[in-house]
Amino acid sequence: MVSLPLFPLPVVLFPGTRMPLQIFEPRYLRMVSDAFKQGQGFVIVQTRQDEEAVDGQTPFYDVGGYGEIVDFSPLPNDRLGIVVQGLRRVRIGEVQAEADNLLMGRCDWLADEQAEAVPPRFEPLQMLLREMLKHPALKPLAGEEEICNAVSLGFRLADWLPFSADDKQELLACEDPGRRLQLINDSIDWDD
Residue span(s) of the chain under CATH 1.20.58 come to 120-187
Distance CA 125, CA 128 (A): 5
Whether the CB-CB separation of 115 and 147 falls below 8 Å is answered with no
pLDDT digits (tens, 9 = 90+) for 168-190: 999 999 999 999 999 999 998 77
pLDDT of residue 143 exceeding 90, the answer is: no
Query: For residue 142, what pLDDT band results from cuts at 50, 70 and 90?
Result: low
pLDDT digits (tens, 9 = 90+) for 66-113: 999 999 999 988 899 999 999 999 999 999 999 999 999 999 999 888
pLDDT of residue 120 exceeding 70, the answer is: yes
Give the ranges where 122-176 is alpha helix by DSSP (H): 123-132, 144-147, 150-160, 165-173
pLDDT of residue 2 exceeding 80, the answer is: yes
Whether the CB-CB separation of 166 and 49 falls below 8 Å is answered with no
User: Which fold does the domain 120-187 belong to in CATH?
Assistant: Methane Monooxygenase Hydroxylase; Chain G, domain 1 (1.20.58)
Distance CA 165, CA 5 (A): 22
Distance CA 32, CA 162 (A): 29
pLDDT at 40: 93
The one-letter amino acid at 18? R
Whether the CB-CB separation of 155 and 16 falls below 8 Å is answered with yes
pLDDT at 134: 84
Q: What homologous superfamily is domain 2-109 in, according to CATH? A: LON domain-like (2.30.130.40)
pLDDT digits (tens, 9 = 90+) for 20-71: 999 999 999 999 999 999 999 999 999 987 767 666 677 899 999 999 999 9
Question: Per-residue pLDDT averaged across 136-157, rounded?
Answer: 79
pLDDT at 55: 67
Residue span(s) of the chain under CATH 2.30.130.40 come to 2-109
Q: How far is CA 134 from the centre of its chain?
A: 23
Whether the CB-CB separation of 118 and 126 falls below 8 Å is answered with yes
DSSP E strands: which ranges in 10-54? 18-23, 42-46
Provide the sign of the torsion angle of the four alpha carbons 156, 118, 182, 68, taken in this order: negative
pLDDT of residue 140 exceeding 70, the answer is: no
